[in-house]
């Protein structure tokens, strides 16, 4: 037996080992080139040696056999590796159709907007309509028709920014929602039942409970035979509707130029239900706003017959109410626009 047969056997054994030992398809291709593909592969070299052999037929058969065995080994290993690659990609790219969908985070209304709308709903439920007025207002509506004559000291409590437009000091950022009362009464005769929520402005320094921009809601009822009792009952009804029957209201005498008599009203502290706590300074009550019977001077300014009609009005801060409801210690938190804060509500 010539060396050729030993070499062929060696190529067969080593080639099969290389094929079965290949860990990747790339490694298998490399081994395939080394052992089987082309003239310079191990099998290719043997093929060129056949012509020098004495028994060419036997040499040819031996090489053919070895080549077939190698091809089978490479084919088998290729199939194994391809199956493994596919299995790995199935695991890697698996889509679990039973997983719940990815929730996207929806926004929600700002707490002040929400309470604003809840207040509207309560009063609409009591038969009121929602009215609006401009944020840039005339002195007439903000002060004069509301019985704040020029130079009246009550104006000083509501200092604001004046806008350079028209007559000097006649156009301003409204300091309260009360001018909407005047606009509505100028535009229509009684019966009038309106609420007017909106943004108001004052030259106040920012602190925990004051902001130069805030929100109020105004109420106005004008009809025949309206009394102070109707005012008290309406406030009580609104407080119950919003906070439940355990929350009461109370009234203290006060002064506003556009109401006579005037009151300030408070409600039971929602945190301690009247027992006294830090939020209500141990009084059991929290201040809400001002109210009173529409002053006859206001009726005169808008052309409503004060002999025939009477009315009540009230107004209070929405931001203040939100602070109370949610225990927001500094009003600035409401307007910083920090989602981490707002997300809580
Ligand atoms: N406009 C007043 C303020 O901002 C609040 C107020 C008091 C409104 C009495 C009223 C009222 O309608 O009758 O201080």
Q: Does residue 109 carry a pLDDT above 90? A: yes
Residue 176 CA: nearest ligand 1 atom is: 4
66 lines ligand 1 (CB under 6 A): no
- pLDDT, one tens digit per residue, over 253-296 is 999 999 999 999 999 998 889 999 888 889 999 999 999 999 99
320 lines ligand 1 (CB under 6 A): no
Indicate the SS3 state at residue 333: helix
314 lines ligand 1 (CB under 6 A): yes
312 lines ligand 1 (CB under 6 A): no
Contact between 71 and 28 (Cβ < 8 Å) = no
Number of H helices, E strands in the chain: 13, 9
- pLDDT, one tens digit per residue, over 13-56 is 999 999 999 999 999 999 999 999 999 999 999 999 999 999 99
Element (H, E) at 288: strand 285-294
- pLDDT, one tens digit per residue, over 186-216 is 999 999 999 999 999 999 899 888 899 999 9
As a whole number of angstroms, the distance between CA 226 and CA 221 comes to: 8
- pLDDT, one tens digit per residue, over 224-257 is 999 999 999 999 999 998 889 999 999 999 999 9
CB atoms within 10 A of CB 29: 14
What is the per-residue pLDDT for 235? 95
From the CA of 276, how far away is ligand 1's center (Å)?
A: 26
Between 321 and 105, name the one with better pLDDT. Answer: 321
By most ligand atoms within 8 Å of CB, the mutation choice from 258, 287, 294, 320 for ligand 1 is 258
């Amino acid at each position: 037996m010539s060396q050729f047969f030993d070499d062929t056997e060696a190529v067969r054994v080593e080639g099969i080992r290389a094929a079965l030992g290949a860990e990747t398809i790339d490694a298998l291709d490399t081994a395939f080139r080394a052992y089987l593909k082309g003239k310079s592969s191990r099998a290719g070299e043997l093929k060129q040696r056949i012509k020098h052999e004495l028994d060419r037929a036997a040499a040819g058969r031996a090489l053919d056999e070895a080549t077939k065995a190698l091809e089978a080994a490479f084919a088998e290993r290729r199939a194994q590796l391809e199956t493994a690659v596919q299995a790995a990609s199935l695991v890697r790219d698996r889509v679990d159709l039973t997983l719940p969908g990815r929730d996207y985070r929806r926004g929600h209304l700002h707490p002040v907007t929400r309470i604003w709308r809840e207040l509207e709903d309560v009063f609409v439920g009591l038969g009121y309509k929602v009215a609006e007025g401009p944020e840039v207002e005339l002195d007439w509506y903000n002060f004069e028709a509301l019985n704040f004559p020029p130079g009246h000291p009550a104006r000083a409590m509501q200092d604001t920014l004046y806008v350079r437009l028209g007559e000097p000091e006649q156009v301003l950022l409204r300091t309260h929602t009360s001018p909407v009362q005047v606009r509505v009464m100028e535009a229509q005769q009684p019966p009038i039942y309106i609420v007017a929520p909106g943004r108001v402005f004052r030259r106040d320094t920012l602190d925990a409970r004051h902001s130069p921009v805030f929100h109020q809601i105004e109420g106005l009822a004008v009809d025949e035979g309206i009394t102070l009792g109707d005012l008290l009952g309406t406030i009580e009804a609104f407080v119950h509707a919003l906070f439940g029957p355990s929350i009461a209201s109370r009234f203290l005498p006060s002064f506003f130029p556009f109401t006579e008599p005037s009151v300030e009203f408070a409600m039971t502290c929602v945190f301690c239900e009247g027992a006294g706590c830090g939020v209500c300074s141990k009084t059991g009550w929290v201040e809400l706003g001002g109210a009173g019977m529409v002053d006859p001077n206001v009726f005169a300014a808008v052309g409503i017959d004060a002999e025939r009609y009477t009315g009540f009005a009230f107004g209070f801060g929405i931001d203040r109410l939100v602070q109370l409801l949610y225990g927001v210690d500094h009003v600035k938190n409401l307007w910083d626009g920090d989602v981490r804060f707002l997300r809580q509500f």
